[in-house]
Amino acid sequence: MKPAPFEYAAPRDLDEALDVLAEHGDDARVLAGGQSLVRMMNARQVSPAVVVDINRVRGLDALGVTNDNGSSTLSLGATVRQRTSELSGDVAAHAPLLAEAGAHVAHAPVRARGTVVGSVAFADPSAELPAALLALDGLVKIRSRAAERTVAADDFFTGPFRTALAADEMVVGVEVPVTAGRSGSAFVELTRRQGDLPVCGAAAVVGLGDDGRVAQARVALCGAHQRPVRVPAVESAVVGADEPSPFTEAAARAADGLDPVPSCHGSADFRRHLARVLTARALSTAFARATSPKETTHA
C-alpha cells in the first residue's frame, strides 16, 4: 500500500459530501475519477486525512442541454467521465471542441474513469480540458454547504494547479453556453508522445456573421502560461476577417505578456513559439470548419 492512511467517506447525496468538506476543509480531498489524485497519493505528494468519494452522489453524473429563458446551456456534472463526454451526442452537437480536446487526454482507460470536471478542478496549466472550457466561455458551478456560486472559467483558474475554489467548496459541474449561428472550433497541440500532456496546445472558436466574416473569436492556450489563458489581443485582431490569411499575423501576438512554465519538455521561448504557431493553426482550422457546414457537424 502506497498512500498514507485516510478516512474514506462515500456519501450518497451532495449535502453529505459538502458536510464533510465543511468539517475537514483542506484536510479533505474530493475523489471523482481519481486519475490524478490517486497517482499523487501513491507518490505521497498529497496525503489527505479524509477522502470524499463523490461517485455515488446522485445526480452528479448528469450530462445534457437545458433551456432557460430562451438560452441553452450544455452542462456536465462532476462525475461525468471524459470518455462519456468524448462520445456524447450532445457534446458533439453543441461543444465539439470539448470532445476534440478530450480525445487528446491520456489514453482510453484513463479517460474511462477520469472526469471532465476533475481535470478542470485540478487546473494543470498544461492540460487540454481547462483550455477548451476557457475557449468555450465556460462556467464553473461551485457549491459549499453554505452557498452556491458560478464563476467564469477565466476567473476560476488562478495559477499552476490553483483555482478560486475555497477549502469547503466543491466544483459540482461545468456549463457551456450553446450558441446558434455559423461557428467552428479546433484544438491543436504538440506532445512528445501521443497521450502525454501537451508541451503547448491551442483551442479556438470562431463565429461568423451573416456576411461570412469573423464576428467573434475566442482563443485559449495550455502550456503557455502559469495557468490556462485566453489571448484577447489575438481574438480582437481576427474580427472582420473573411479568409484565413490574417490569422498568422494576428497569432504573432499570441505569446505577448505570457509567462510560460519552462520544463525539460520545452523552454519558455519554445512554448511562446508554439503558442504563436498553434494559435494560427487552431484559428485556421476553426474558420475552415465554420465556413464548411459539412465539417461543423463533426468539428
State the residues that interact with other proteins by CB under 8 A: 1-8, 10, 31, 34-35, 38-39, 41-43, 51, 53, 55, 106-110, 112-113, 194-195
276, three cell numbers: 504563436
d(CA 75, CA 91): 9
Place of cell 490556462: 228
Q: How far apart are CA 104 and CA 127, in angstroms?
A: 10
| 82 vs 183 by CB, closer to other proteins | 82
| Smallest distance, other proteins to C-beta of residue 199, A | 17
Q: Which is nearer to other proteins, 7 or 249 (CB)?
A: 7
Residues in the chain: 299
**Identity of the residue, 55 or 226, whose beta carbon is nearer to other proteins in the bound complex:** 55
Interatomic CA distance for residues 25 and 30, integer angstroms: 11
Q: How far is the CB of 104 from other proteins (least distance, A)?
A: 12
Instruction: Tell me how far apart the alpha carbons of residues 224 and 229 are, in angstroms, rounded to a whole number.
Output: 8
Closer CB to other proteins, 10 or 178, in the complex: 10
176 phi and psi angles, rounded to 5 deg: -130, 125
Measured from the CB atom, the residue of 113 and 273 that comes closer to other proteins is 113
Give first-to-last CA distance, the chain, whole Å: 44
